[in-house]
Structure 1
Amino acid sequence: MACSTSPRSIAAVIGVGPRLGRSVARKIFRIDLGKLSALAEEIAREAKAQVFAIRIDCSDSKSVREAFEVVLSLGFLEVLVFNACEPPVSCPPTSFTAVTLQSFERSLSVSAVGAFHCAQHVIPGMVERRRGTIIFTGSSASLIGFAGYCELSCGKFALRGLSQCLAREFQSSGIHVTHVIIDGAIGSPSRSSIGEQDPTLVDPDALAQTYWHIHTQEKGAWTQEMDLRASIWTGL
């Protein structure tokens, strides 16, 4: 979890990996992040704000609560991006009979229950101030169940349902909730890759730009769901 603060508000990215999470955090925090441990120093020097890296287990309600107690003590959280996913989308398929109950439950706990906990911690403050953005990251598995990916698909289906419920309940309160379906594999950030980006891979920096656009959309035309893919589509 990466958290950036300014004199006005806070942005939190749950699930900061080397691709999408890194690019989204870099776009929101306006720096080249590198390692999470260097966030505070980087943001203080280059963006005149504060960034904190917090270890969080989205499957553990106590871990989520403790993390947000720290975050919300700093001020108003205006943007929440939820990228956490278990198992990772890049994992190979697993035969249904080989999936353990523990693994299946953990997938639901991270992808759906974790998102539920995070949203419950931030929505009251957003409702009070009548503004805020919540972006949930989904995938092709949010729409279609794939053979060998029952854990991923069930978690992502539940996440999509949560997003739709929250969008309809809290839009009138000024909260913009969006579910983003990433239909394809994500490549390396374009600014760190050599040569041209592989056109069959989704550019995480371009995704981050779209996430920023969602946050800055005019309220009269909010996006509640969006699907994104590479310039050469090899998905569904």
Structure 2
Amino acid sequence: MAQGPACAPHQITALARCLTEAAAVRTGRRLAGAHPVTVLSAGEALHTTAGLLGGPHARYVHEINTTEDPLLRFLGRITSWGRDRVTLLAPTDQVRDDLASLFPHVPCRNRPFAVADPGDRISETERCAAPWRSGIREDLTRRYQHSLDGSWQTDSPAIPTEAWRLLDHLDQHDGRIDVHDQDLSFRPVSLTRTPSWWAEEATSIVDTWRPPANNHSQSGPTIPSPSP
């Protein structure tokens, strides 16, 4: 008796991911109301199926490693009218070209994953209102204390020192991070290229925090206590 083609594991994974994304989009649309919904790391296939089942949304597709097998292509064809419900977002020109070739009838735009449009950046009011995740400060304090009292063993003073720096910063800024503080050196970066300053800074970080060759015979730097 003739048997049909076996279903490859990645087909099953792609279908399961599509159904999961569709369910997440439906939940997101219900909770977000009139706000748009975006899948930040979408699967490589079944875009129209996700749109048909989940509803209107944007989909970030970061790379294309596999192509749809006959079963997935068939499912994509019978759900093709869901193409009006999705917009594909590609972080690079190459990914956009791949998507346009594989899914020519699905709208696709090139848009870096990192925020590139100044209009998309959060305002000063939004930044100041941004809450801390509950427990972060307690985690930092525990990391600092356990590193100093020997509960956590480490060959480098980086963990307690960096934890203290952030705790001290919070004490000086009413429990919030001041993104304009020059000591923090926040700078714009891109996912598509390495910043020109990174090699020098990375070398400095390694040289500063490299554990000593014989940490039993060398004492680490003195680390101050956080402000009370």
TM-score in same-fold range (> 0.5)? no
Max radius of gyration: which structure?
2
Structure with larger RCO (C-alpha < 8 A, sep 6+): 1
TM-score, normalized by length of structure 1? 0.28
* Structure having the larger proportion of residues in strand: 1
